[in-house]
Structure 1
């Protein structure tokens, strides 16, 4: 009896048996390679057979990455098998990151600043630390005691020898304040800016009374609401107290804002 010979047919003839004309994709692994066979129509409407070959490699990844790969797919890829789908996913070049420790970084990079010099300067107690970390922040020293100490130091600096270089002294404060004559005496007036809307005359009085005596104050308010416009003028009795107010209050934190204090400009 003659042996039956197997007849090889074309794959194009085999796919005719399917309802939609295209069989499902097939894949198998052999010799460390993965072969994926897909059937699809080209632009001309003809059936084509696409065979993709992948090299299988094992890589050690973090647990979070491995756990993320087990998540269920969604959208157009919800019925896809594990791994990227060439129709919906484009695999780019892998980027590998090398994480180094602090010791290795210090060995490879020279220090930018001298560690022996402390660049921090506390505004509250003049210590070698940042003002936000000052142990006296929020205490009586931060507000009343510190302001009194600064007022005394600033007043002594103003009435001292103004011929020394390194610090600017206004002309009207030189030689007993006789450098410039004005029709309106604004030489001892200061302008305080960046005040909160809830500022009142009583608060302004409490803010400046520790520095020195004053003759008058003006708090700018809105006509309709009566809220503070954000600035005020204070006329001190002595010029040295006005200079001390600028030295103390300029940059001082008050009501969650940073005050700005300068000399009041004369009216034209």
Structure 2
């Protein structure tokens, strides 16, 4: 694979001066490593940005039906009428979803004779009462479970009833980093692999657009340790990732406040 510093410069199109309509996306030829450069302009909140990406091209053989192949040749209509092929902002391609049917019957556990006396929907306290009327001693763990309410318990009352929360539920001990300027090709697993080398992660979230179903360009990473979160923020802030420069900072109420030096 060609190293970043050994790549030959690519003849890019001239810069757009902002006059007239926005130019169409430009693509370079595929190099020996199967990578091409894509340059396009995008408008966001009234500001026009030039985006440059390196995309790896892979050939994949896919079997489709003849009817699907004929539908691809149908003329476009309505808002999609225009140039042939996929159009940005008009044509959307969804990932295929495969359904698996399971015909195997699940084995049902045998019902004991004592269990037949229980009414469907009877709580654990009712079952213990049936056993006591028959002269049977209820197990100690079931008696303790019956004394504990099975419904929702507010977090403020959990410790009072002896219900201790685990580390995953103590949200106040988590330190959240916000990762901006992230490539929309990066998945949650990619972000997890990038940050997991700094320590144990509690959660990784990559928000996606409701319409395009693609990442929105930022992510949230939660650490259990403040020291590990601080080290990850210092080392990855300004780090190059997928031809973009990452911006990593502590989210609000997710870590110590930062002081910027100008």
Which is higher, the Rg of structure 1 or of structure 2? 1
Please, what TM-score do these two structures have when normalized by structure 1?
0.30
Please, what TM-score do these two structures have when normalized by structure 2?
0.31
